[in-house]
Amino acid sequence: MSNPVDYQNLFRLDGRRALLIGAGGIGGEAGLALAAHGAQVVAADRDPAVAKATAEAVSGESLELDITDPEAVERAAEQLGDLDVVVLTAAMNVRKRILDYTPEEFDRVVNLNLRGTFSVFRAFGARMVARGSGSIIGFSSIRGRTVEPGQSVYAATKAGLEMLVRTAAVEFGEAGVRVNAIAPGVVETPLTQQIKNDPGWYQAYATKGALGRWSKPSELAGAVVYLASDASSFVTGSTLAVDGGWTAVDGRFTPPT
């Protein structure tokens, strides 16, 4: 057999540099997993303390970065130079019904979740395309496909992110750059504390998915390593659902069969 694949090391990331934008929660776990597989990790966050804590945990670099500032994103891309992997987890949500949403709240959510994603793809994608390799991983959500009252703008930004991923995958693909998304379900992080504090709400979310529970941030890390590594060398323009079967189920009621 010619050119055998080294399956034993298919997920290894030795010698590769990975930028993690959004270094807390899911991002922090992703950083630990990338480093465990050999990557040199740069932890970036608009909160320098969060970036520093994750950087120390992975023996990497830290960077203060606000992706709502396109010029700051461009400067970061120039400063960091060649990167093999970019992981973007930074996002926000304002849970309000459409009739209660203010224009200012709309702008805040869209500026971070969608405009920020565009800036990251543009700045770091340009350098990967010029070099001819790289993997960009954005974080979508089950809300990019399924919604509930109060999730309109957040859901719209996540659906938009998935279309940016697909378009970037097509435009960057000839240069050998892959672009994919991960769509988590409900994850136990500080951002979901409001839901966790309500037992009925918490349980309703837990039983919506096929596995009957919430996920931990660490359960998203394997998907990040997969999409960053050669194990996914022919995967681009895809959204990988890591949602415990949430989007496979059409409701919480289990009828008699």
Among the options 101, 154, 205, 226, which is catalytic?
154
Distance in angstroms (rounded) separating the CA atoms of residues 207 and 209: 6
* Radius of gyration (C-alpha) of the chain in whole angstroms: 18
How far from each other are the two terminal CA atoms of the chain, in whole angstroms? 50
Q: Is 227 buried (19+), middle (13-18) or exposed (0-12) by CB count in 10 A? A: buried
Do the Cβ atoms of 101 and 152 come closer than 8 Å? yes
Chain centre to alpha carbon of residue 17:
17
**Catalytic residue status for 101:** no
Q: Long-range contacts of range 69-72, CB-CB < 8 Å, 24 or more positions apart?
A: 70/115, 70/119, 70/123
Do the Cβ atoms of 45 and 64 come closer than 8 Å? yes
- Please report, for residues 7, 133, 248, the alpha-carbon distance to residue 116 in angstroms, rounded to integers and kept in the order given: 36, 22, 30
Which residues are CB-neighbours of 167 under 8 A, at least 6 positions away? none
Distance in angstroms (rounded) separating the CA atoms of residues 196 and 201: 7
Q: Which residues are catalytic?
A: 154
